[in-house]
Amino acid sequence: MFGTTQLYPHLLSRFPIGEKTNIVTQFGVNAILMGATPNDYYVDVEGRVYDFGPGVGTRIIAAIQNGIWSYVSLYYYGAWLWTQSQPSDSKHHIHFLFLEAQYPLTPYFSAGFSAGVYWRNSYYENFPDVNKNHPLVKVFFRTALLDL
């Protein structure tokens, strides 16, 4: 659906709300060196069906963290790509928004669940614009490497 190579300078903040519990936030601007996303109308002779090009984006994260674990997190990621490949007459706005929860089962292992949405607004010069969205659901396990 979407992939990039990017630089992500960001501001990380921590606000204590308990002895070991914090609200942690991140805000950053992404410099997308090269990103790729599907093109709804183009297929080249070698079978490529995606656009690629540079862009900019933003990432906003807020989490309730206790120790090393983020119990609840809210993520937003937005990107704007300008196509440099053929056909070069399209632009794409990409968005991810999801909520994640995890619970530590041991000091080194947690399980979690995430749900959200991905949506793409693609603008084409010679074809109708396309708006697509997809639900995202993930069940995961995490491990922590701690110095004993």
Q: Which two tokens stand for residue 117?
A: 């949405």
- Greatest alpha-carbon pair distance for the chain in Å reads 61
pLDDT of residue 46: 78
pLDDT of residue 87: 67
Does residue 74 lie within any of the structural domains? Answer: yes
Question: If DSSP codes are grouped into helix, strand and coil, which group holds residue 41?
Answer: coil
Burial of 134 (0-12, 13-18, 19+ CB in 10 A): exposed
pLDDT of residue 61: 97
Q: Which two tokens stand for residue 135?
A: 């639900």
pLDDT of residue 11: 96
What is the domain extent for residue 34? 3-143
Does residue 48 lie within any of the structural domains? Answer: yes
Does residue 148 lie within any of the structural domains? Answer: no
pLDDT of residue 52: 87
pTM for the full model? 0.84
Residue numbers of the chain with a pLDDT score lower than 70? 87, 146-148
Q: How many domains does the chain have?
A: 1
Rg of the chain over all Cα atoms, to the nearest angstrom: 19
One-letter amino acid at 97 equals L
Distance CA 144, CA 148 (A): 12
